[in-house]
Amino acid sequence: MANQKKMVEDITSMEEDFAQWYTDIVKKAELIEYTSVKGCMVIRPYGYAIWENIQKNLDAMFKKTGHENVCMPMFIPESLLQKEKDHVEGFAPEVAWVTHGGSEKLEDRLCVRPTSETLFCEHYANIIQSYRDLPKLYNQWVSVVRWEKTTRPFLRSREFLWQEGHTIHETAQEAIEETERMLNVYAEFCEDYLAMPVVKGRKTDSDKFAGAEATYAIEALMHDGKALQAGTSHYFGDGFARAFGIQFQSRENKLEYPFQTSWGVTTRLIGAIIMTHGDDNGLVLPPRVAPIQAVIIPVAMHKPGVKEKAAELKAMLENDFRVKLDDSDNSPGWKYSEYEMKGVPVRIEIGPRDIENNQCVIVTRHTREKTIVSLDNLKEEVAKKLEEVQKGIYERALENREKRTYACKTMDEIVATLNEKGDGFIKAMWCGDEECEDIVKEKTGVGSRCIPFDQESFSDVCVCCGKPAKHMVYWGKAY
């Protein structure tokens, strides 16, 4: 059969060319397809199903923490975008402009939202009068557009899917707590669902969101030693409220400005999953978000009873797991490669000999380890194996990160470490001066990723200027 070529032969190995390995996976695992719209892609059913699982679980966490979903327009009039000075400076250079509706030229150009702070602010100004109207804890699941020059599937595209939370509060304290709460929700989600360890911290001022007083982020380390910002949470103070004239009657009967936050994660998380867990055989998906958690593959399908037994197993499992039976004409070997490529966490093989012995073989994707289990307690065994994969890949990713995190006291040490060990997280002390930050970047090639909440101190002085250190910073090359 023409389709029966071994798919894995077509993947470049990680070692050989990590970027090509990544591109091979997103295409061959059928996550995306390119389009004639430059920098935009089709997210195919298998890729979109991962996003649906991310969305479903994260949305439940948002609702549990009191948030409600809304939907804002996708367009922002140029005049509205311009109301907050830093914000427009940050975003205007990279937006798509709508200038015509039908054949009519628009008086006020519209940009396709790169983010929706301005629209939420306009709305808040309309609906908030009194402290009784606060807080508003809103979120939306939409796509946004940023006119990037260089694009890569999931990691950086001109259009991407995301959620953006926008909240508004009576006091600064409440808003700061919200900013931290949502960063924690993101960290919990990444660790518990995506099996991806993250570092929580604050961005340096040079890396803040346009218009924010403080930006918090979670940073993950990919398999190649590069960092990936997996989610951000911003505290705005009352800057946007002042720019947009949002005021409320306080408990003391005074007109006051409320305090705001915003926070978001994107389809980038799918890129993070690929580069955190994938291997030379393809994707490795965390069971909690895998579109197919277990695939059943009948062996020697022509033998009597095999197909029927495989269907029976499917029926046994399908109420509890996302399970697929592949009884197509392809060979078992081809199917093994196919579902390894697609990162299905657990494979169940069932053949005539197994049926005789009332058993089947379970193979876990991350270790390719085989276990023979009795059909009498298949459900429990599958649940156990999925848990094993979920934990196993988390631990492996954590180990990789620890192994590749290096504390350095001098710039020379940074350079030597990167040369010798390759990319990773560099921990180094910093005086807080933006100039030093720039010099580190220029001389070593690694930029500041975040000032982690968990601070350590292994030196009293800035790695760059030798003046007293204020923060321990994580540095690294980044996606």
Binding interface with its own copies (CB under 8 A): 3, 33, 35-37, 40-45, 48-49, 51-52, 68-77, 79-80, 93-104, 110, 112, 119, 122-123, 126-127, 132, 138, 142-143, 145, 147, 158-159, 161
Least Å distance, CB 199 to its own copies, is: 30
Residues 6 or more apart in contact with residue 44 via CB below 8 angstroms: 30, 31, 32, 33
Strands (DSSP E) contained in 104-158 are 104-112, 136-145
Structure tokens given for 131:
């402290």
| C-alpha–C-alpha distance, residues 445 and 450, integer Å | 16
Maximal C-alpha separation, the chain: 82
CA–CA separation, 312 vs 327, rounded Å?
13
297 in Cβ contact with 189 (< 8 Å): no
Distance of closest approach, residue 401 Cβ to its own copies, in angstroms: 31
Residue 325 C-beta: closest distance to its own copies, Å? 15
Least distance between its own copies and beta carbon 140 (Å): 8
Indicate the residue among 48 and 209 with the shorter CB distance to its own copies: 48
Least distance in angstroms from the C-beta of 407 to its own copies: 40
Shortest Cβ distance from residue 136 to its own copies (Å)? 9
Alpha helices in 201-296 (DSSP H): 239-244, 268-277
Q: Which lies closer to its own copies via its Cβ, residue 41 or residue 375?
A: 41
Helix axes 306-317, 378-403, angle to 10 degrees: 70
Q: What is the DSSP string of 341-368?
A: HTT-SEEEEE-HHHHHTTEEEEEETTT-
Q: Which of residues 1 and 457 has its CB atom nearest to its own copies in the complex? A: 1
Q: At its nearest, how many Å lie between its own copies and the CB of residue 126?
A: 6
At which residue do the structure tokens 């993947």 appear? 11
| 94/433 with CB nearer its own copies | 94
Cα gap 64→51, rounded to integer Å: 20
